[in-house]
């Protein structure tokens, strides 16, 4: 919690006490005069223009003066006199018209006249904001205005900090600014937090705070507050729903809507345009626009954090020549604050944002607001575009609309009196970045993963939109969109194809399976073996199942198919035969084990039933058939390790100039061979060397796995500790980040394993790894390569390593 004894001066205690007493005396006299003046104030007179026309306390006057506020804006001139007289207010005025001061001034003044000051007074005013950034901004204005002599203690509670530390300070607060969740948390958990004497409740961006997302929290907060209080609601798009007003127990509220008669709902200084931009051209158009506006301050809105991240990471890498920033709700608080501060201070910059930055934020001098993804409704449009052309300054808004969105969205905007005109994109100036994005996605699996997630969240957001007249799912060219993000294929979108939930589940499950259905259901062993084997999954299968089940299904199939084809070829080479069954089955090993894992997946087998209790199984390459006449033998078939032992190990073959296969010794110089020692000794030596290599790699793998486990435990403990301390872990995005990082790391490992030895450049958002780890990885890579070179894969681990290489 940030707190401010608004006076903020430091003096020796005795002197301080004396000065405070003197001040209180002065204030008492002041208060009486002020009460009188406010009593005489005629709030509907309409002749108040300057702040000095109002009966305000000396500290507030000084505060306004030091911040260079002299003339009131319309909303201030109308709302402040009413609020000073204690009316409940429903205030609506365009974005950037100065609503913040319209409630801060009455808060300071009304509490001042009541002398609601000091530790014993308790909380006098509570100001609620929908986002942390906006709460911080309000708190800053409050601090600026109050620091010239007010004695209130003011605090900010927005989550992300230790609850305990906030608790201590909370009991002393007279004015509190915060977000709904955190305020409620304190009301329900901080015993000493006393709101019984609360005088004023303020809701900034009231329509947002009262909507469904915050409804539960706000209703619960209201339950704690005394009914006898003054309530002020402000927003640029105000709802007048009676149910909302009843929820807040407003008493005969005054509607102060200064721009209601205006022909437009947005500032006059704002120039608003839209362009028709099919989904698949968005990236190119945005990039070209940024290129053409490097000497500007640009704010771009997207529909989800995933898209923001993808665009930020990919554009950043392409070096656009203007500083890029990004902000979304999944970031940690520190990063968000850092970004808002940087963008506020920047002269030229481009900020990619979700709607977390759409409301209330007062970034100075924004030139352009680009709405790259269509807003969900006209109100969201108005709030987004309102980040420019604030307080009589000029600004431009550009809305990207897909052809199918045009009619619906324009209708909504027209209904809200938003004047917007169509402009065209100069096609000649549009640069295509598709091939660059494709190349980048190809080179960096982590970026490709981001693109996939961006694609899916975009499709999902369109699917979930309430306004079906604007967002017509079937009309978007999703394939073109996927390609424009640099993706090699279109990630699967379940809801586009299947309506029935059951079908959907089935489909995604099927998508994970390799298309070979013939191997299934062979023999009775499949049943129990299948069930048991479901728990045996490779990390790749877990990864695909958990994160990308819907995203990658088709692509995954393709990869696996390629994998199969490639390994089929190897198989032919090595064995000099190309039996269809043998190829499929051998290769399906790597993919089928996790999902089905029966013995038929591991090895081609031929099962004959001899008697009721006896079966003969012919294992590929085994010298003798295996007779299954007992439970123990049957179980043997379920163990892949044991079965692999029974199988033929395969031979290493070398091809002559005509392409005919030979065993190695056939083409070797006999003298050379003899010089290396007896064949038996040579074999022994070879096996020993290979074993040493494998053993060493094994030790390293185990150490790495142990370190990973340790790190996971540490992170879990850290999270538990933070939760115990009340730190808002979810809000800060910690949980998600951890998972995501793990996944990115997996992708990186895949890519690295597949490379033939050259050291890769650092990824754009790869965390720094210690040299030690790097060295370890490189060593392991070397070992794995060595293993593959020596022989065809013999163990499951070998197969997985090979599969990983092919996947990468
Ligand atoms: N009386 C005034 N004189 C000069 N500048 C003012 C005055 N009142 C407000 N401003 C300035 O106008 C800008 C916009 O004010 P504010 O953020 O309060 O707008 P708002 O109406 O709350 O906007 P939004 O609807 O987007 O939240 C701020 O930079 C603020 O400092």
The alpha carbon of 8 and the centre of ligand 1 are apart by a number of angstroms equal to 25
Q: What SS3 state is found at 651?
A: coil
What are residue 155's phi and psi, to 5 degrees? -140, 165
Q: How far apart, in whole angstroms, are the C-alpha atoms of residue 96 and residue 699?
A: 63
Under 8 Å CB-to-CB from 562, ≥6 apart: which residues?
806
Q: Which residue has the tokens 């915050």?
A: 214
> Concatenated DSSP letters for 53-102?
GS---HHHHHHHHHTT--BPPHHHHHHHHHHHTT--EEEE--TTS-HHHH
Question: Phi/psi at 293 (nearest 5 deg)?
Answer: -130, 40
DSSP 115: T
106 lines ligand 1 (CB under 6 A): no
Q: Is the shortest distance between the CB of 116 and ligand 1 below 6 Å?
A: no
Name the token pair of 546: 């958990």
Answer yes or no: is the ipTM higher than 0.95.
yes
| Atom from ligand 1 closest to the CA of residue 134 | 27
Give the position, in ligand 1's atom list, of the atom nearest the Cα of 95: 25
Give the count of beta carbons closer than 10 Å to the beta carbon of residue 162: 13
Q: pLDDT at position 564, please?
A: 41
The string of pLDDT tens digits covering residues 700-733 is 889 999 999 998 888 888 877 776 655 443 333 2
Nearest CA to ligand 1 atom 23: 96
Residue nearest to atom 20 of ligand 1 (CA): 96
The span from the CA of 762 to the CA of 141, in Å, is: 43
Low-confidence ranges of the chain (pLDDT < 50): 7-12, 499-500, 507, 510-535, 540-541, 543-606, 610, 727-793, 795, 802-808
Cα–Cα distance measured from residue 252 to residue 710, given in angstroms and rounded to the nearest whole number: 61
Q: Is 2 exposed, middle or buried (0-12, 13-18, 19+ CB in 10 A)?
A: middle
Q: Quick one: pLDDT at residue 11?
A: 45
The DSSP-derived string for 693-750 is HHHHHHHHHHHHHHHHHHHHHHHHHHHHHHHHTT--HHHHTHHHHHHHHHHHHHHHHH
Using the atom order of ligand 1, give the atom closest to the CA of residue 236: 25
Q: In testing the pocket of ligand 1, which one of 50, 107, 299, 362 has its CB within 8 Å of the most ligand atoms?
A: 362
The torsion angle over the Cα atoms of residues 433, 439, 445 and 451, rounded to 10 degrees, is: 20
**Cα-flanking dihedrals φ and ψ of residue 466, to 5°?**
-75, -35
The reply to whether ligand 1 has any atom less than 6 angstroms from the CB of 103 is: no
Asked if residue 130 has its Cβ within 6 Å of ligand 1, the reply is: no
Q: Where are the beta strands (DSSP E) in 303-426?
A: 324-327, 349-353, 368-371, 395-401, 421-422
Q: How far is the CA of 739 from the centre of ligand 1 (A)?
A: 40
Residue whose tokens read 């070096």: 319
Within a 13 Å sphere around the CA of 640, how many CA atoms are in the beta-carbon half?
24
Helix axes 99-113, 13-40, angle to 10 degrees: 110
Residues 6+ apart with CB under 8 A from 88: 230, 231, 232, 250, 251, 252, 253, 254
Ligand 1 in reach of 69 Cβ (< 6 A): yes
Of 640, 691, 647, 634, residue with least CA distance to 538: 640
DSSP class of residue 324?
E
In this structure, what DSSP letter does residue 357 have?
G
End-to-end Cα distance, the chain: 47
Evaluate the CA torsion angle 294, 298, 302, 308 in order and state its sign. positive
Q: What is the spatial distance between Cα 360 and Cα 368, in angstroms, rounded to a whole number?
A: 16
* Pocket flag, ligand 1, residue 395 (CB < 6 Å): no
Edge-to-edge strand order for the sheet containing 297-301? 324-327, 349-353, 297-301, 368-371, 395-401, 270-276, 421-422
The H-assigned helical ranges of 323-444 are 333-345, 378-385, 403-415, 434-443
Element (H, E) at 220: helix 212-224
Predicted local confidence at residue 17, as pLDDT = 63
The rounded Å distance from CA 632 to ligand 1 centre is 81
**SS3 category, 196:** coil
Query: HSE (CB half, 13 Å, CA atoms) of 160?
Result: 23
CA geometry: angle at 228 spanning 222 and 234, to 5°? 60
Element of type H or E holding 126: strand 125-128
Q: How many CB atoms lie within 10 A of CB 123?
A: 24
DSSP E strand stretches across 12-57: none
> Model-level pTM?
0.63
- Give the Cα separation of 359 and 353 in Å (integer): 12
CB 347 within 8 A of CB 298: no
Q: For residue 558, give both structure tokens.
A: 């393709």
- Going by alpha carbons, the residue nearest to atom 10 of ligand 1 is 98
Q: Is 73 in the pocket of ligand 1 (CB under 6 A)?
A: yes
Tell me, using a 6 A CB cutoff, whether residue 101 lines ligand 1.
yes
CA angle 323, 329, 335 (to 5 degrees): 50
* Average pLDDT for the chain: 76
Q: Which of 280, 135, 106 is nearest to 199 (CA)?
A: 106
* Long-range contacts, stretch 797-801, CB < 8 angstroms, 24+ apart: 799/589, 799/590, 800/538, 800/540, 800/590, 801/753
| CA diameter of the chain | 118
């Amino acid at each position: 919690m940030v707190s401010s004894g608004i006076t903020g001066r430091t003096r020796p205690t005795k002197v301080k006490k004396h000065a405070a007493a003197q001040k209180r005396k002065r204030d008492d006299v002041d208060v009486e005069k002020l009460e009188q003046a406010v009593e005489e104030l005629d709030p509907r007179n309409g002749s108040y223009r300057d702040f000095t026309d109002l009966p305000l306390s000396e500290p507030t006057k000084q505060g306004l003066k030091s911040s260079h506020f002299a003339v009131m804006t319309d909303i201030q001139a109308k709302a402040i006199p009413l609020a000073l007289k204690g009316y409940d207010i429903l205030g609506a005025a365009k974005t950037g018209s100065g609503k913040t001061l319209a409630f801060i001034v009455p808060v300071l003044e009304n509490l001042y006249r009541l002398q609601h000051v000091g530790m014993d007074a308790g909380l006098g005013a509570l100001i609620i904001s929908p986002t942390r950034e906006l709460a911080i901004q309000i708190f800053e204005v409050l601090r600026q205005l109050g620091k010239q002599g007010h004695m209130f203690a003011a605090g900010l509670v927005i989550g992300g900090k230790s609850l305990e530390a906030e608790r201590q300070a909370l009991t002393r607060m007279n004015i509190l600014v915060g977000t709904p969740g955190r305020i409620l948390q304190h009301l329900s958990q901080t015993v000493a937090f006393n709101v019984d004497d609360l005088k004023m409740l303020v809701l900034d961006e009231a329509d947002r705070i009262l909507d469904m997302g915050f409804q539960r929290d706000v209703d619960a907060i209201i339950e704690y507050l005394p009914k006898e209080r003054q309530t002020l609601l402000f927003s640029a798009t105000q709802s007048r729903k009676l149910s909302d007003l009843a929820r807040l127990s407003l008493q005969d509220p005054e509607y102060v809507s200064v721009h209601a008669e205006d022909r437009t709902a947005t500032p006059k200084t704002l120039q608003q345009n839209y362009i028709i931009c099919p989904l698949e051209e968005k990236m190119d158009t945005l990039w070209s626009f940024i290129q053409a506006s490097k000497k500007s301050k640009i704010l771009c809105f997207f529909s989800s954090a995933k898209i923001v991240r993808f665009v930020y990471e990919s554009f950043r890498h392409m070096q656009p020549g203007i500083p890029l920033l990004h902000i979304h709700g999944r970031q940690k608080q520190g990063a968000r604050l850092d970004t808002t501060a940087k963008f506020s201070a920047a002269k030229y910059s481009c900020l990619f944002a979700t709607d977390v930055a759409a409301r209330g934020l007062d970034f100075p001098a924004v030139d352009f607001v680009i709405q790259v993804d269509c807003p969900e409704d006209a109100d969201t449009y108005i709030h987004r575009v309102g980040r420019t052309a604030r307080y009589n300054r000029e600004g431009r808004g550009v809305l990207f609309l897909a052809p199918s969105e045009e009619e619906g969205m324009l209708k909504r905007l027209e209904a809200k009196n938003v004047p917007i005109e169509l402009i065209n994109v100069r096609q000649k100036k549009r640069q295509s970045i598709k091939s660059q994005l494709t190349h980048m996605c190809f080179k960096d699996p982590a970026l490709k993963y981001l693109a996939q997630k961006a694609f899916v969240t975009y499709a999902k957001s369109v699917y979930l939109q309430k306004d079906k007249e604007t967002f017509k799912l079937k009309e978007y060219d999703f394939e073109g969109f996927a390609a424009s993000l640099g993706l090699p294929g279109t990630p699967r979108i379940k809801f586009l194809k299947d309506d029935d939930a059951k079908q959907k589940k089935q489909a995604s499950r099927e998508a994970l399976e390799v298309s070979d259905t013939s191997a299934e259901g062979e023999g009775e062993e499949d049943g129990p073996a299948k069930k048991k084997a479901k728990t045996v999954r490779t990390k790749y299968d877990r990864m695909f199942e958990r994160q990308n089940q819907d995203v990658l299904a088709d692509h995954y199939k393709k990869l696996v198919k390629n994998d199969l084809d490639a390994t089929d070829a190897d198989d032919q080479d090595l064995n000099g035969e190309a039996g269809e069954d043998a190829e499929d089955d051998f290769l399906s090993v790597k993919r089928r084990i996790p999902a089905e894992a029966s013995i038929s997946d591991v090895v081609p087998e031929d099962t004959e039933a001899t008697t009721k209790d006896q079966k003969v199984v012919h294992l590929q390459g085994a010298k003798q058939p295996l007779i299954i006449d007992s439970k123990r033998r049957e179980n043997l078939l379920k163990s892949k390790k044991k079965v692999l032992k029974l199988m033929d190990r395969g031979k290493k073959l070398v091809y002559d100039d005509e392409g005919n296969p030979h065993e190695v010794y056939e083409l070797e110089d006999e003298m050379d061979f003899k010089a290396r020692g007896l064949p038996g000794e040579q074999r022994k030596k070879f096996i020993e060397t290979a074993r040493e290599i494998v053993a060493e790699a094994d030790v390293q793998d185990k150490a790495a796995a142990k370190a990973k486990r340790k790190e996971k435990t540490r992170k879990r403990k850290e999270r538990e500790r933070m939760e115990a301390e009340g730190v808002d872990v979810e809000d800060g995005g910690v949980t998600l980040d951890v998972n995501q990082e793990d996944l990115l790391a997996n992708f990186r490992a895949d890519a690295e394993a597949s490379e033939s030895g050259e050291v890769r450049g650092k990824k754009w958002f790869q965390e720094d790894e210690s040299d030690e780890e790097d060295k370890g990885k490189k060593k392991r890579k070397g070992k794995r390569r060595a293993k593959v070179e020596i022989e065809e894969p013999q163990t499951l681990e070998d197969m997985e390593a090979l599969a990983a290489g092919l996947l990468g």
